[in-house]
Amino acid sequence: MSIDDSILAEVFKDISFSSEETTLIESKFEKIELTKGIILLRADETVLNQYYVQKGCLRTYYIDSKGKEHTLQFAINDWWISDYTAYFSSTKAIMNIECIQDATLYKISKKNIDRLIQETPRLETFFRKKMEKAFASFQKRILASLSQSAKERYITFRSSYPNIDQSIKNYHVASYLGITTESLSRIRKELTHS
Amino acid sequence: MSIDDSILAEVFKDISFSSEETTLIESKFEKIELTKGIILLRADETVLNQYYVQKGCLRTYYIDSKGKEHTLQFAINDWWISDYTAYFSSTKAIMNIECIQDATLYKISKKNIDRLIQETPRLETFFRKKMEKAFASFQKRILASLSQSAKERYITFRSSYPNIDQSIKNYHVASYLGITTESLSRIRKELTHS
DNA sequence: CGCGACGTTGATTTGCCTCAACGATTGTGG
DNA sequence: CCACAATCGTTGAGGCAAATCAACGTCGCG
């Protein structure tokens, strides 16, 4: 078997499969181990895959015209990661994906996802709902950026990723919040002194 | 027939249906005419429907703890609108939806969407892809808010909604961009003088 | 140890906000 | 159809949050 016994149960936790289905689905995933620092995807590459994160931590980031990095999201246990805009529209990546803490991923190609969905229509519901959740979390993020100060956004961030601190450098958090490392440092100081 | 002959072809433009399917689908939609100023949805209400905008213009906005409004999105011809976060999670609305230019909508309930998807699985693909597009557009918006100045975001906005100016007040645009009306006014002045 | 990566602190600048006043435009009732 | 009010947009003065620039701690690791 190409992947762990347990992984299917983990990825598709709310769905049960027959043993033929299980075999079929498992054959489409490939296990990948990454070490910290590895770049999984670079801007301008073609995006053929998405990845389920079993453990570790990755981030997707965008490099703007001035060379500055902006983190779109972190992915930890049970999240999926890819440059979805490029993945869905079959265009080249504008995002980069970096492993920031040694990770175990399960990779699946777009072609194989499309096949799986055809063969097992329940999976389409799964992927639709996954997208709905991701959409909702992006909506929250937009509303936060419209209505909150940097300090408030940092507090929100910490409560939505309570245990992520260990894996993530402050300059990554700053680039996620849309502020500089200096500003984040001052915010953190303020928060500890109160 | 409860709705226009042409509406199905408009909503699901890439899918073709048998005449029985057409009848079935059409029976689930309800045509709604709104005049400017009407509030279609208020925060705290239960979100049971989503709406296809055939013509006119609506906006979804969030009212923060200080009473300030923040526009999440505008919906014009061929867009869908709802408080999707509440809709998907079956929680109460946090957004409001307002008609800002006389509009024709087609309303469909969540219950009916679920039925349609069961009866006509091709529609699940349609709704999944619709969500993927919405997701991608939110991603763009987040990257813009992380990497661009107010002026740059305004320029981006104008090019993504080229013909929307007529229907939209500047204070709505400002609340979409996350700036004040005064700042937008100054930005507009700068742009005409160059 | 010594070097590089990361975080902190201070001084200064800047983009956008706030508050206030004043035009311009739109809508409405007499 | 005009007069007036309400709504919307503009302009100016001053303030503040966060950026920038520069220097200096601190930590981890070869």
DSSP string, A109-164: EHHHHHHHHHH-THHHHHHHHHHHHHHHHHHHHHHHHHH--HHHHHHHHHHHSTT-
Give the DSSP H or E segment for A181: helix A181-192
Range of the domain at B43: 7-120
What's the residue count for chain B? 194
CATH value at residue A79: 2.60.120.10
Task: Give the mean model confidence (pLDDT) for residues A2-15.
Answer: 76
Q: Does A68 touch chain B (CB under 8 A)?
A: yes
* pLDDT tens digit sequence for A82-123: 999 999 999 999 999 999 999 999 999 999 999 999 999 999
- Is B56 domain-assigned? yes
Strand partners, B30: B107
| Number of domains forming the structure of chain A | 1
Q: Torsions phi, psi of B101, nearest 5? A: -155, 130
Tell if B182 CB is < 7 Å from nucleic strand C.
yes
Query: Which residues between 3 and 22 in chain A have a beta carbon less than 8 angstroms from any beta carbon of chain B?
Result: none
A172 alpha-carbon distance from chain centroid: 14
- CB contacts of B145 in chain A (<8 Å) are 142, 145-146, 178
pTM of the model: 0.93
- Is A184 domain-assigned? no
Residue B6, judged by CB atoms within 10 A of its CB (0-12, 13-18, 19+), counts as: exposed
* pLDDT tens digit sequence for A56-89: 999 999 999 999 999 999 999 999 999 999 999 9
Amino acid at A177: L
- Is B141 domain-assigned? no
- Is A104 domain-assigned? yes
- Is A151 domain-assigned? no
Tell me the nt nearest to A187, Cα to C1'. Answer: D18
- Is A47 domain-assigned? yes
Q: Does B173 touch chain A (CB under 8 A)?
A: no
Q: Which residues of chain B have pLDDT under 70?
A: 1-5
* Pairwise CB contact (< 8 Å): B135 & A84: yes
**Nearest by CB to B62, which of A134, A136, A147?**
A147
Q: How far is CA B161 from CA B37, B103, B136, in A?
A: 21, 17, 16
DSSP A47: -
- Is A180 domain-assigned? no
For nucleotide D12, the protein residue with its alpha carbon nearest to C1' is B182
* pLDDT tens digit sequence for B66-110: 999 999 999 999 999 999 999 999 999 999 999 999 999 999 999
- Is A135 domain-assigned? no
